[in-house]
Structure 1
Amino acid sequence: MNKIDIRTVNVVQYLQPLREGGSLPAIVKADNGFLYVLKFRGAGQGTKALISEFIGGELARALNLKVPELVFMNLDDSFAKTEPDEEIQDLLKFSVGLNLGLHFLSSAITYDPLVSKVDAFTASKVVLLDSLISNIDRTTKNTNLLHWNNELWVIDNGASFYFHHNWSTWENHLTRTFPLIKDHVLLEKATKLKEAALEIKKEINESIINEIVSKIPEDWLENEGEVLKPNEMRNAYITFLNAKLKMLDSLVKEAEDAR
C-alpha cells in the first residue's frame, strides 16, 4: 500500500442536505471543483463518527475495495449565517473547522441485496472488514453500500469502533469477537471468507494501521471530559486493530457459523 495522502480542501458551496441519514450529511462543492458528501463534526456522534468513517474507509481501500476518495474539508462560519433552516444552521455552526468529505458518486444507487450483484470474494472481504472494525451498521435495513459503474462501493463506516464511546472500558473489547455479524447484509454471499482472510493478512499490517491512525486530525481527538489524551486514543485504535487482526481466524469461524 502506498503512503496515505489525504487532501485538505475548503467548502465553497453548500448544495443540499441528504435527509436519509440521521446525521444530516450534505452535498457540497469544494474549492478543487469537485462535489463531496460532507460528514459534519457537529452531528450527533461528533468527531468519533468521522474517525470511524476515516479509519474504516482507508482500511477498505487497503483491501482493494472500492471507496470514494476521502478528504478533510474546512468549513468556515459564513455558511451558518446564510442558512435559513434552523436545524441545518445549528449543524453548520457546530461544524466550523475540519470535517470529512467523501467524493460524491453521481447517479450511484443504494445496494439492494435482492437486485444488486456482488461477487463472493468482495462480499467476504467486506464482511471480515466489518468484523475487524465492529461495524454494527451494514444490514438489510441500512446497507451503507452503493452500486456505481457496476461495482460495489463501501461508504458509511461511522458506526464502527463503538468502544470509543466509553474510553474507560475500551480494553474490555480487545478479546471480543463480533456476534452482530449475523445481521450483515452481505453475509449470505460471503462464501470465500478464508480466501478473504488471506488477503487481509497480506494487505493489512501494523505499519498500515499506524499510518492510517497517524492521519487522524489532532482536534478530532480533543473532546472535553475524555479520560484519555489524544496520543493514548491513537494507541488504543492501533492496539484494538492489531488485536482483531490476531483474532482473524476466530472472526472467520464466527461469520461462517452465522452464515
Structure 2
Amino acid sequence: MNTLDIRTVNVVQYIKPLREGGSLPAIVKADDDFLYVLKFRGAGQGKKALIAELIGGELARAVGLKIPELVFMHLDDSFSKTEPDEEIQDLLKFSVGLNLGLHFLSSAITFDPLVTTVDAIIASKVVLLDSIISNIDRTVKNTNLLHWNNELWVIDNGASFYFHHNWATWEQHLTRTFPLIKDHVLLSQATELRTVAEEFLIKLTDEKITEIINTIPEDWLQYEADDLSPDEMRNAYTTYLKAKLTMVDSLIKEAEHAR
C-alpha cells in the first residue's frame, strides 16, 4: 500500500494553547526538538478534522503550494494529569494516541488581504484547491493563510470534506459544485484558474490521490457511529477527489462567475 513518508514524533512538552482556534490547538514541543501546532483528535470535529487537514495539506503540497510539514504526533496520558485548566485537561485526556501536528512557523503573521496582494497563480491554486476539497473556511473573517519569509503558506484545512460528517449522503456530493467559493478571501486575485487547472490534472494523478488517502491512520477512520468500514471511507475520499477533478471546468466557471 503506497503511503506518503510522514514522520511520527512524540509530544514532550505542552507549551500553550492557541485560543484563536475554535478547536483549541496548541503549540507543543516534540522529541525531535521542534515546535509544532498540535491539532487534537479529542477536539470538536475530532478525527474527521485531522483527516481533512491531512488530505487537504498534502494535496496543497502536491500542487506546489507552501504548507508546513505535517507530522503524526503521539500524545501520552501524562499531560492531562498536570494541566490545571479543566477544558484543556479534558482535551488532552480525550486526545491520547495519534494526533496531527504542523511545523510551527515562528514569527509568521496572519495573511491580511488588505495589506498583501498575492501572485495570481498562487491565488488561483488556493481557490481551485479549496473548490475541490470543499473548504468552507478560507474567508476574509478567517483566512487560514500565513505570511512567512515573504511567502504565502496554507494552513488549516480541517473544515474541508464536510460530506464526511454524514456518510449516509456522501454520494450526493459527487456531482455538486461549491457555491461557497464566492466568499473565498483570494477569489478576486484568482485570475489564472484555467492555467493552474492543467497543472492540477498533471500532478493529482490517481496514484498521488491514493498515496495520500492511504496515509490516513487506520484508527482515525474508526467511529462507532458510522456504518462504513475504514476501507469504504478511503474509497469514498478517493472517489470524491477523482469526481471533483473530472468536473474542474464547472468549478472554474462557478468561481469565475462569482468573481
TM interval, shorter chain, is over 0.9
Question: Which residue does the alignment assign to 2:104?
Answer: 104
| Equivalent position amino acid for 2:185 in 1 | V
In the TM superposition, what are the counterparts of 1:203-222 in structure 2 within 5 Å? 203-222=203-222
CA contact (8 A) 2:3 2:212 kept: no
Question: Which residue does the alignment assign to 1:180?
Answer: 180
Question: Which residue does the alignment assign to 2:150?
Answer: 150
Report percent identity of matched pairs. Answer: 78
The structure 1 segments of at least 4 consecutive aligned residues displaced by more than 2 Å after TM superposition are: none
Q: What SS is found at the alignment partner of 1:47? A: helix
Cα shift readout 1:123-159 (whole Å, capped 9, x = no counterpart):
0000000000000000000000000000000000000
Q: What SS is found at the alignment partner of 1:13? A: strand
In the TM superposition, what are the counterparts of 1:63-74 in structure 2 within 5 Å? 63-74=63-74
Q: What SS is found at the alignment partner of 2:72? A: strand
Q: 2-side partners of 1:245 and 1:180: how far apart?
A: 18
Structure 1 residue 192: deviation in Å?
0.6
Question: Which blocks of at least 5 consecutive residues in structure 2 are unaligned?
Answer: none
Structure 1 residue 116: deviation in Å?
1.7
Does residue 258 in structure 1 map to residue 254 in structure 2?
A: no
Q: What SS is found at the alignment partner of 1:232? A: helix
Structure 1 residue 227: deviation in Å?
1.2
Question: Which residue does the alignment assign to 1:36?
Answer: 36
Q: 1-side partners of 2:117 and 2:68: how far apart?
A: 19
Q: What SS is found at the alignment partner of 1:14? A: strand
Q: What SS is found at the alignment partner of 2:208? A: helix
Q: What SS is found at the alignment partner of 1:242? A: helix
Q: 2-side partners of 1:25 and 1:3: how far apart?
A: 26
Cα shift readout 1:67-110 (whole Å, capped 9, x = no counterpart):
00000000000000000000000000000000000000000000
Question: Which residue does the alignment assign to 2:54?
Answer: 54
Structure 1 residue 28: deviation in Å?
0.2
Q: 2-side partners of 1:115 and 1:97: how far apart?
A: 40
| Equivalent position amino acid for 1:117 in 2 | T
Question: Which residue does the alignment assign to 2:196?
Answer: 196
Q: How many residues align?
A: 258
Q: What SS is found at the alignment partner of 2:33? A: coil
Q: What SS is found at the alignment partner of 1:99? A: strand
Question: Which residue does the alignment assign to 2:7?
Answer: 7
Cα shift readout 1:195-216 (whole Å, capped 9, x = no counterpart):
1111111111111000000000
Question: Which residue does the alignment assign to 1:123?
Answer: 123
Question: How has the CA–CA distance of structure 1 residues 17 and 98 changed in structure 2, closer, same or farther, with 3 Å as cutoff?
Answer: same
Q: What SS is found at the alignment partner of 2:41? A: coil
Q: 2-side partners of 1:5 and 1:117: how far apart?
A: 33
Does residue 18 in structure 1 map to residue 15 in structure 2?
A: no
Cα shift readout 1:157-201 (whole Å, capped 9, x = no counterpart):
000000000000000000000000000000000011111111111
| Equivalent position amino acid for 2:93 in 1 | K
Question: Which residue does the alignment assign to 1:164?
Answer: 164
Question: Which residue does the alignment assign to 2:238?
Answer: 238
Q: Which range moved further: 34-43 or 197-206? A: 197-206
Q: 2-side partners of 1:121 and 1:225: how far apart?
A: 41
Structure 1 residue 3: deviation in Å?
6.7
Cα shift readout 1:23-71 (whole Å, capped 9, x = no counterpart):
0000000000100000000000000000000000000000010000000
| Equivalent position amino acid for 2:53 in 1 | E
TM-score normalized by the length of structure 1: 0.99
Q: 2-side partners of 1:3 and 1:90: how far apart?
A: 32
CA contact (8 A) 2:55 2:212 kept: yes
Question: How has the CA–CA distance of structure 1 residues 218 and 246 changed in structure 2, closer, same or farther, with 3 Å as cutoff?
Answer: same
